[in-house]
Amino acid sequence: MYRLLFVLLFTVSLSATEYIIYVNSQINHDVTIQRWIPTIDFLNEKLAPDTFTILPICPNNIPKIKNLLSKKKIDFILTQPAIYSMLEHSYNTTRMLTLTNRYDMSEFGSVIFTYADSPLSSIEDIKGKSVAAIAPMGFGGWLIGYNELYEHKIDPIADKKVIFVGSQKKVLLEVLRKKYDAGVVRTGMIERFIQTGLIDENEIKIINPIKNDYNIYLSTKLFPEWSFAAAEHVNKKIINKVFKALNSIEPDTKMAIEGQYTDWHLPGNYTKVDDLFRRLKIGHYKNIPKYDMKEIKKIAEVSLLTFVLFIVTLFLILRNLYIKKMKTRLKQEVEEKTKELNILNSELTTFFDVIPDIVLINDGERLLRVNKRFLDFLGYESLEKFREKYRCICDLFENREGYLRSEMDGVTWMAYIIMYPMQLHRAIIVKDNVEYIFIVNAKKFVSQGRDHFVVLFEDITRLQEITSTDTLTKVANRIKIDEHLLMCKSNYERYKNIFSVILIDIDYFKVVNDTYGHLEGDRVLKELALLLKENLRETDIIGRWGGEEFLIISENTAIGAAYTLAQKLREKVEAYDFQLKGSLTISCGVAEYCSDMNNIDDLIKEADDALYEAKKSGRNRVVTARLSYNKETT
């Protein structure tokens, strides 16, 4: 009986597990299965008795993919970057490998083209023209090309000029038949159809051709190739086995030839894909998510504490093992303990890397460890590459009043955070000409007799944008304007950068509200804000000061130039048709910040006094605060 029980238990321990691999299938499931079945057969043979099964799903059926992932009915994902990026954001999938395509490239892009005798010759010519593409979530066959058009201020989706025809082949043929003005296909497709004789290269004209090292047709930037990833619930041991198996595939094998790739390598940087989603406001950036900040901070604090405890525990165990010089009979136990700790460290590293915020550890002098989000955000392959250029992340902080700098009140920025734990600490980092705002928290712990710091950077850029914008007029609100005025004052005191303000008030606005109602009054406020904004310089800042008042900040501008700008705005408003009986007019008070002022309140008072004088002397005029510039006009 005991022997039978042992046999049953042994048999159960050897039982196979079936893993489902979702594969991106754009057109025909049979074609997709034929392409990937050699690779799947290879995994089945290499990792027996575990089995792997293909599940082809069209990328347009995203609800089905998400439903299966949430129910743990998909274990691995083999798909193009757009779908992967969306699943990584929503389901914490772990990227394992990136494909190298048949052109020996680990990146790809889009080709924007038209027929040979088309009048189109540049991207700008495409505005208002019809564009054919494969599908809304086709990456090389649409989104990369769409991103390039969008950067040139062309939006076929908003203009309702894009047509999704379902396949790369159909895009090519429909454009060459002149059914559509232009088309977008993935890199390599035109060369492929020329080689098969489907089209002739003399029939094609490439729009925005870009020279490249691969000698392929290209019209856009390059993005990472297809990704092989694991769902969050998959055991780390099988992930490692699949990683090693796929990584061992050589070029020119049946798997590589049928799968149209040469090999698999370490995962690429998919941050560019996420940035594309953010820029085009699609996928998971279509709607602004709501965050429970208290819960996020609570999870982060618990996670960081667990990590710190593990580091301290590991250090003590290893130090004790070294001091005691354990005897021969304990060597096996030491090896087993070390093996367990390595597994734990591997799992902890994986956890460390899936934290969505930037996390780093340093000893007060140099960075010791960073997570994957740190490297992806800053665009570095490793911490060593980052150290070659920077000593500390604080080297990237923007020097702004009210934000963290490398040194704060004579101490380092980390020591400052520890000293004032109840304050809200923020930092600004500029990347690719975009400002990112972070809430920064730090925890101190002692290791080897030295202070160490675990620091968390929480990206609140989008939330900051929402909270600094007036909901009605979509210009800066009072909070944002106050913050900018303080920054201008600081720049004046440090660098003598002059600046002026224009305080604007709508003449007889109460009559508008009483006559037409508050809804019409709101419309007038919105149109006025837009009109003022369109006639400002790029360096000028406009905000709603309150009610029907607006404030404009003009940096590096003396009061005379500010007066000229205010007159221009006054004339524009008077000439604009607000669809009211009679014209709408404004009065303006102009003031320049001077050394004899104690604070911003003095500047605003001067502008307000000048505005009062403009109102008192008949309205629809500009008055300056300083007598040397005092001019007024009707």
Give catalytic residue positions: 548
Contact between residue 330 and residue 322 where contact means Cβ atoms under 8 Å apart = no
Q: Which of 454, 453, 455, 461 is nearest to 428 (CA)?
A: 461
Question: Is the bond leading into 49 cis (omega within 30 degrees of zero)?
Answer: yes
Round the CA-based radius of gyration of the chain to a whole number and report it.
31
**For residues 185 and 538, what is the distance between their CA atoms, to the nearest angstrom?**
36
Contacts 24+ apart (CB under 8 A), 511-516: 512/580, 512/584, 515/581, 516/580
**For residues 523 and 25, what is the distance between their CA atoms, to the nearest angstrom?**
48
φ/ψ of residue 146, rounded to 5: -60, -40
DSSP string, 371-409: -HHHHHHHT-SSHHHHHHH-S-GGGGB---TTS--SEET
Contact between residue 98 and residue 227 where contact means Cβ atoms under 8 Å apart = yes
Three-class HEC string of 323-377? HHCCCHHHHHHHHHHHHHHHHHHHHHHHHHHHCCCEEEEECCCCEEEECHHHHHH
Q: Which of 548, 540, 553, 544 is nearest to 478 (CA)?
A: 544
